């Protein structure tokens, strides 16, 4: 039986006071890999922000990793975000801290203060993203692709059921983008769900997955067959 990770019904998505996506109904199950595409301003980022509760859902229904987005209280938001991994285009690493300290900062911020457990978790996620020997490096000593691998490792720290990736290859060259895509597909194959916003249509052709397109205030879904 499929496990539902995300379910929106008749949801309205806002950008400030502007209604940008109306009456949206979408669903993600465990292990799904879905692209989110659309032109600038079409609502991709606003949808992702709604899913991690940066923008409130005021109309419609929304369930995400066992949380109700409509009924969520402010003090529940940190607990929701522990169950989500978020990856950004610009990495958002702390440049004055080592790779290890970047990851440990997240664990401490989410209330995990056992140093031995933290060290094991950090080594585990670094190994998953192929960066096991980089824990003492500073971010500025790493390439863009390596920095994004660290950002993905950060997103994996709490073993989240759902990863929201907002243009994760946007600052990378084509070869490095493909390496990151292979990594994300490996993560998805392990059972974690990925929703990835992108404007790189070449990746959609080379790494085909189901696609949601934001356009004219709505979302249309297509299923791409493996080449």
158-194 per-position pLDDT tens digit: 899 999 999 999 889 999 999 999 999 999 999 999 9
203 backbone φψ class: left, alpha, beta (φ>0; ψ -120 to 50): alpha
- At residue 88, the pLDDT reads 86
Domains of the chain by residue range: 1-83+161-227, 95-159
- At residue 226, the pLDDT reads 44
Rg, Å, the chain Cα set:
17
| Number of continuous H segments (helices) and E segments (strands) in the chain | 7, 10
Residues of 168-191 as b/e, b for ≥16 C-beta within 10 angstroms? Answer: bbebbeeebbbbbbebbeebbeee
Fold exhibited by the domain 1-83+161-227 = Rossmann fold (3.40.50)
Nearest Cα residue to 154 out of 90, 86, 219:
86
Supply the mean pLDDT for the chain: 91
21-40 per-position pLDDT tens digit: 999 999 999 999 999 999 88
105-156 per-position pLDDT tens digit: 988 887 766 667 888 999 999 999 999 999 999 999 999 999 999 999 999 9
Q: Is 50 exceeded by the pLDDT of residue 104? A: yes
Rounded to an integer, what is the distance from CA 77 to the centroid of its chain? 16
Using CA atoms, how far residue 195 sits from 60, 164, 212, in Å, is 20, 5, 9
Going by their DSSP bridges, the two strands 84-88 and 162-166 should be labelled as: parallel
């Amino acid at each position: 039986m499929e496990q539902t990770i995300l379910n929106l019904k008749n949801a309205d998505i806002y950008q400030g006071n502007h209604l940008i996506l109306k009456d949206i109904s979408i669903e993600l199950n465990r292990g799904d890999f879905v692209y989110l595409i659309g032109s600038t301003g079409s609502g991709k980022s606003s949808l992702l922000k709604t899913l991690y509760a940066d923008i409130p859902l005021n109309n419609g229904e929304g369930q995400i990793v066992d949380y109700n987005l409509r009924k969520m209280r402010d003090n529940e938001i940190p607990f929701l975000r522990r169950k989500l991994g978020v990856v950004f285009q610009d990495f958002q690493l702390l440049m004055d801290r080592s790779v290890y300290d970047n990851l440990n900062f997240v664990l401490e911020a989410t209330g995990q203060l056992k140093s031995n457990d933290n060290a094991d978790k950090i080594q585990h996620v670094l190994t998953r993203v192929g960066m096991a020997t980089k824990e003492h490096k500073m971010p500025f000593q790493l390439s863009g692709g390596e920095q994004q691998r660290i950002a993905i490792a950060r997103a994996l720290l709490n073993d989240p059921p759902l990863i929201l990736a907002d243009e994760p290859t946007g600052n990378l060259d084509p070869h490095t983008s493909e390496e990151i895509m292979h990594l994300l597909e490996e993560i998805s194959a392990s059972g974690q769900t990925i929703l990835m916003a992108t404007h790189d249509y070449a990746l959609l052709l080379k790494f085909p997955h189901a696609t949601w397109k934001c356009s004219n205030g709505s979302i249309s879904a297509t299923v791409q067959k493996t080449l």
